[in-house]
Amino acid sequence: MKLLSIETSCDETSFALIDIDGSSVTIHAHEILSQIDIHREYGGVFPSLAKREHAQNAVPLIKKTLEKTALGTSVPDISQTVQNQITELLARETGLAEALLAFLSKTPKPNIDAVAVTHGPGLEPTLWVGINLAKSLSAAWQVPVIPVNHMEGHISSLLIEDPASATAQPLRKIEFPALALLVSGGHTELVFIKAWGDYSIIGQTVDDAAGEAFDKVARLLGLPYPGGPEISKLATQAREDDTASPFALPRPMLNSGDLNFSFSGIKTAVRNGIENIKIAESTAELTDKQKQGISREFEDAVVETLLTKTERACDAYGASSILIAGGVAANTRLISSFKAHSGLPEAHIASRALTGDNALMIALAGWIRSQYDPSLILQDPSQIQAIGNLSLEEKRIKKD
């Protein structure tokens, strides 16, 4: 199956084109444009700005994606009715209808079977850009649309071992039942997976997501957004120099008797610890060593919590493999801790290039969906809506 995929759920605009069957996949193209530099000055993602950026960057990025693939030779004739439909679909995305129609009028139709698009969870204004684009491409090229759950996308990223390869590669074999630890800026979930498409959320954060905690603690330490990589750098330095934290942090919910997480208490403890140091030392600024020590203790607290709860989930549910995905899966401490921990089933960790948001994982999830539920290949995609809080346990495509 040949799929073009679209991801616009947050601050990455991304497209991929793959050819996949039950045993192997070829990545023909994969483009990711991150808006991080734009959102950094706000200390987080600013939705209306993100939406505008997606709309502006979509056509140049699709163009780049299709340039890397073999296109047909004839430019399809797009009827006035379809042109009007596209203009209406994209009416709220400034400049996008004009740019897309101009592009479509000179581009041969790619050889694809369907368009896969993220429709939730995420920021609804930005999800809509991708959805309306998918509906427009579907109308222009007469191809169906597969709506994809972004978190199923993160899980599906595990299928690829070499995201940089342009030749056919085998799909990673995943042993079921599997337990997924999904750790990103918006989610922290333990998901029991009986088989593809059969997901139960058995644990989740009751407050901040793990990535969000990294971002908030980074802010307290005066580090830029996104905070995960910054904290990780300082923590690694602290371990190399054997720098200890000026204070200890809690490992919340370890004895809660369930598989849920809480990270906001760690963040509050960091804030109080920093304030106490400032008062005791009559200073407005922490030293670099103090920042390194705190980063190390914070990273240890988060990783230990994730590891302990994952281990308990395995004990309770009996998983044959562990799948770790999402932005925080790029964390080297997390990776080494899971790899070194004995007594756990084999832990597969998403390739670093696929831990953040990307359209390759959406294409893979689109294919998986097409296999376990062909009714999700929508010849008429008009029903698809953005669902900001879409859960992995539900298959709805509309808000209600």
Chain residues that interact with Zn ion, rule: CB under 5 A = 184, 357
Report which DSSP code applies to 183: E
CA distance 350 to 158: 5
CA–CA gap between residue 23 and residue 52 (Å, rounded): 38
- Residues 109/141, Cβ–Cβ less than 8 Å: yes
Tell the smallest beta-carbon distance from residue 110 to ligand KG4 (Å).
Answer: 27
Q: Using N-to-C axis directions, what is the helix angle for 210-220 and 264-280, rounded to 10°? A: 10
Secondary structure (3-state) at 97: helix
Cβ proximity to Zn ion: between 184 and 188 the closer is 184
x/- binding map, residues 142-181, to ligand KG4, per CB under 6 A? ----------------------------------------
Decide whether 27 or 50 has the Cβ nearer to ligand KG4.
Answer: 50
Asked whether the beta carbons of 344 and 323 are under 8 A apart, the reply is no
130 binds, among ligand KG4, Zn ion, none (CB under 5 to 8 A by kind): none
Q: Is 114 in the site for ligand KG4 (CB under 6 A)?
A: no
Distance of closest approach, residue 356 Cβ to ligand KG4, in angstroms: 4
Between the CA of residue 80 and those of 84, 96, 98, what are the distances in Å? 6, 17, 14
- Tracing tokens 């797009």 back to the chain, one arrives at 78
Residues numbered 3 to 32 that lie near ligand KG4 (CB under 6 A) are 10
Torsion of CA 156, 132, 398, 388, to 10 degrees: 60
Q: How distant, in Å, are the alpha carbons of 88, 188, 257 from that of 306?
A: 46, 9, 15
Nearer to ligand KG4, 66 or 218 (CB): 218
SS3 266: helix
Q: In whole angstroms, how far apart are CA 173 and each of 64, 110, 244, 320, 329?
A: 31, 30, 41, 12, 19
DSSP designation for 76: P
Binding residues for ligand KG4, total number by CB under 6 A: 20
- Residue 299 CB, shortest distance to ligand KG4, in Å, is 8
Please identify, among the stretches 85-93, 140-148, 206-214, 373-381, the one whose residues bind ligand KG4 according to the rule CB under 6 A: 206-214
Q: Is position 185 an interface residue for ligand KG4 (rule: CB under 6 A)?
A: yes
- By a kind-dependent CB cut-off of 5 to 8 A, residue 227 interacts, out of Zn ion, ligand KG4, none, with ligand KG4
Binding mask 298-337 for ligand KG4 (x = CB under 6 A): ----------------------------xxx-xx------
The answer to whether the Cα torsion of 52, 54, 55, 59 is positive or negative is positive
Provide the token pair at 59: 């056509």
Query: To the nearest whole angstrom, how small is the minimum distance from the Cβ of residue 122 to ligand KG4?
Result: 7
- For Zn ion, the closer CB: 120 or 293: 120
Please report where in the chains the tokens 């999700």 appear, as a residue: 376
Please say which residue, 183 or 377, places its beta carbon nearer to ligand KG4: 183
Smallest separation (angstroms) from ligand KG4 to the CB of 381: 23
Q: What are the residues facing 26 on neighbouring strands?
A: 19
For ligand KG4, the binding residues in 214-273 under the rule CB under 6 A are 214-215, 226-229, 232
Q: Are 209 and 185 in contact (CB under 8 A)?
A: yes
Per CB under 6 A, the list member of 93, 189, 297, 357 interacting with ligand KG4 is: 357
- Taking the complex as a whole, the smallest distance from the CB of residue 217 to ligand KG4 amounts, in Å, to 10
Q: Pick between residue 322 and residue 329 the one whose CB is nearest to Zn ion.
A: 329
Q: How far is the CB of 11 from ligand KG4 (least distance, A)?
A: 8
As a whole number of angstroms, the distance between CA 170 and CA 346 comes to: 19
Report the interface residues with ligand KG4, using CB under 6 A.
10, 184-186, 211-212, 214-215, 226-229, 232, 326-328, 330-331, 356-357
